[in-house]
C-alpha cells in the first residue's frame, strides 16, 4: 500500500480546479489491484482525508471509477483503472448561520464541545435545511469552522441522532478535523477516544454487563437499521458494551432499567438497534421500540403519562473523552441529564 501522495508520485495529478470543486484524478498502480476503493483512496489521500471522510465522499457520489459514478466503498479496483474524486467546496453559499443558543462545555481556537439538546438536528438534510447545529456553529464560529466536513457538514466529525441529547465535539480547523475524525474512526481501540451513553430501556438484560456484537445494515424500509448477517453486502460490523446501572420495579422481573453503553464501533442507530435486538429497546424509541408501547399502559399514573408523552428516545451521550488534537492533552466532558430524562427516571424510581 502506497503512502501519502507527493509530487514524485506519478499516479497523482490534479485534473482540474475551479471555484466550484477540485477534481483529483489518480491511476491505480499494480499494488492497488484488488484493493477496496475506500482503503486505496484513503491511503492515497492520507493524511489530508480520513477514511471516514473518503467513505462519505463515495456515498455522496463524488467518486468516479473509469468515468462511472461508484457508490460502493467496497468496490474492488484493478490495475490501470482511473479514479476521479470531485471534492465539494468547503462552504455552501446558501448555508447560513443562525442565532441558535448552544450549551458550550469547552471552546478554543481548535474545537468546540457542546451539550446537544434533544430535537436539534446536527446537519442540514432533507426536511431540515435550517435550524440545525451546523447553522448554529456557523453563526458562532464563522469562517473559523473547518470545511473538511463538506458543503453541508462543516466542522462535523461525528453526530448524534436528532432526538438523542448529550456531548458532541466539532472542529474549527482542518488539522483538528483530521485528528478527531481519525480518533472516531478508530473508536478508541488504539487511541484515547471514550464515549459513554445512558439509555433507559424496557426490562433489564439478564446479565449485569455484556457485549452485543451484531452486524447492522439497512432495514427493509431502507430508512431504519437492522441486525443483518455479516455476509450481506451492506453489513457493518458493530459492537456495543453495556452495563446495567439501576433497575426499577420487581427485582425478579424489572419494568425498566438504566444501562450505560460504550461503543467499540459507531454505526447509525447502533445502541438503539442493539438494545432492541436483545429485547430491551430504549423507552420512547419510535423506530425500534414500537412493539413495547403497550407496556406504558400498565404503568401507574403519572408515570404512564410521562412515558406516553415523551417526545423522543431516552438516550443521552453523557461522556466524551479524547486527546486534544493540538495540545495532546487528554480531555473528558460530561453532560448532565436533561430535565425530561431526569424527571422520567424519578418517576421510575418511585415504582
Which amino acids are annotated catalytic? Answer: 161
Element (H or E) spanning 113, and its range?
A: strand 111-116
Residues 6+ apart with CB under 8 A from 345: 200, 258, 337
Report the residue count for the chain: 351
**CA-wise closest residue to 80 among 65, 70, 64:** 65
Cα-to-chain-centroid distance, residue 110: 20
CB 29 within 8 A of CB 11: yes
- If one counts every other C-beta atom within 10 angstroms of the C-beta of residue 81, the result is 17
φ/ψ (deg, to 5) at 195: -135, 135
- If one counts every other C-beta atom within 10 angstroms of the C-beta of residue 270, the result is 22
Q: How far apart are CA 43 and CA 32, in angstroms?
A: 10
Torsion of the alpha carbons at 161, 100, 176 and 72, rounded to the nearest 10: 40
Residue for grid cell 472516531: 184
Residues 6+ apart with CB under 8 A from 207: none
Q: How far apart are CA 1 and CA 223, in angstroms?
A: 35
- If one counts every other C-beta atom within 10 angstroms of the C-beta of residue 252, the result is 5
Q: How far apart are CA 54 and CA 45, in angstroms?
A: 9
Cα-to-chain-centroid distance, residue 299: 34
Q: How far apart are CA 212 and CA 205, in angstroms?
A: 11
Residues 6+ apart with CB under 8 A from 308: 296
Amino acid at each position: 500500500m502506497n503512502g501519502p501522495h507527493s509530487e514524485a508520485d506519478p499516479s497523482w495529478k490534479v485534473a482540474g480546479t475551479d471555484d466550484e470543486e477540485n477534481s483529483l484524478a489518480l491511476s491505480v498502480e499494480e499494488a492497488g489491484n484488488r484493493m477496496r476503493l475506500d482503503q486505496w483512496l484513503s491511503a492515497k489521500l492520507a493524511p489530508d482525508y480520513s477514511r471516514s471522510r473518503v467513505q462519505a465522499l463515495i456515498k455522496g457520489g463524488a467518486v468516479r471509477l473509469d468515468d462511472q459514478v461508484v457508490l460502493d466503498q467496497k468496490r474492488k479496483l484493478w490495475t490501470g483503472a482511473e479514479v476521479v474524486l470531485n471534492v465539494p467546496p468547503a462552504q455552501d453559499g446558501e448555508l447560513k448561520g443562525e442565532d441558535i443558543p448552544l450549551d458550550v462545555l469547552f471552546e478554543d481556537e481548535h474545537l468546540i464541545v457542546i451539550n446537544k439538546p434533544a430535537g436539534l438536528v446536527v446537519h442540514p438534510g432533507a426536511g431540515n435545511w435550517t435550524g440545525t447545529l451546523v447553522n448554529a456553529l456557523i453563526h458562532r464560529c464563522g469562517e473559523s469552522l473547518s470545511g473538511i466536513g463538506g458543503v453541508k457538514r462543516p466542522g462535523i466529525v461525528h453526530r448524534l441522532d436528532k432526538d438523542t441529547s448529550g456531548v458532541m465535539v466539532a472542529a474549527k480547523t482542518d488539522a483538528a478535523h483530521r485528528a478527531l475524525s481519525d480518533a472516531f474512526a478508530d473508536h478508541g481501540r488504539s487511541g484515547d477516544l471514550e464515549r459513554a451513553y445512558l439509555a433507559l430501556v424496557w426490562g433489564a438484560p439478564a446479565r449485569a454487563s455484556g457485549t452485543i456484537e451484531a452486524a447492522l445494515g439497512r432495514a427493509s424500509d431502507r430508512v431504519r437499521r437492522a441486525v443483518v448477517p455479516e455476509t450481506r453486502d451492506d453489513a457493518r460490523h458493530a459492537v456495543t458494551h453495556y452495563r446495567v446501572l439501576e433497575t426499577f420495579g420487581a427485582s425478579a422481573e424489572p419494568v425498566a432499567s438504566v444501562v450505560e453503553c460504550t461503543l467499540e464501533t459507531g454505526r447509525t442507530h447502533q445502541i438503539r438497534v442493539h438494545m432492541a435486538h436483545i429485547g430491551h429497546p430504549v423507552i420512547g424509541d419510535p423506530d425500534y421500540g414500537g412493539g413495547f408501547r403497550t407496556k406504558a399502559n400498565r404503568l401507574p399514573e403519572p408515570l404512564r403519562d410521562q412515558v406516553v408523552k415523551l417526545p423522543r428516545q431516552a438516550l443521552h451521550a453523557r461522556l466524551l473523552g479524547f486527546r486534544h488534537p493540538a495540545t495532546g492533552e487528554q480531555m473528558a466532558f460530561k453532560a448532565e441529564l436533561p430535565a425530561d430524562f431526569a424527571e422520567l427516571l424519578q418517576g421510575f424510581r418511585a415504582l
